[in-house]
Structure 1
Amino acid sequence: MQEFLVEITTTIPDGTESSEVDARRAAEAIRARELSSAGHLARLWRPVGELRSIGVWRADDEADLHTNVLDTLPLRPWMSITVTALRPHPNDPGQW
């Protein structure tokens, strides 16, 4: 599987009922655990003081990442996503 750096900003549309937001967030947590168990979500961070997420995700290719991974997230309709394909660096200390 290939790795990708994914930056996600979620913007809840004005007028959205809080019950819908709560339901989607709960479903999002469940889906994130499923994707982690399947090996697609490797790490996820939230920058201090920001309402966005940065994560390392895995998929066969970028099309697979979007179609079979990110597009399955319950909050996806409210997300802006930036994807950067990654490859190992020759000086990566994790390879030593």
Structure 2
Amino acid sequence: MERVMKLASQRAVVIFSKSSCCICHTIKTLFSDFGVSPTVYELDEDPRGRELEKALLRLGCNPSVPAVFIGGKLVGGAKEVMTRQLDGSLKELLKRAGALWL
């Protein structure tokens, strides 16, 4: 869990993903459409991906991916991100984290 939190705090937006996950792709595209360049960790391509996935599950991410961190804090998975997008609070989170300047 310590490694996940360390990785998540190194950039304004961090997404833990799997390259074969269509929902992960959708979330990465959403951030890209905002002009945000998140750091993405593809768990299926990381030798320690299983360990990271277990840590994400312990943090409450179920399913484990996508797991989105903004400003070093866990926002959640696709449902939480899309809820924030629909209610308008996602942009504000991105601005506060320094990932978006609009």
* Smaller-chain TM-score bracket: under 0.3
TM-score by structure 2 length?
A: 0.24
Higher helix share: 2
Higher strand share: 1
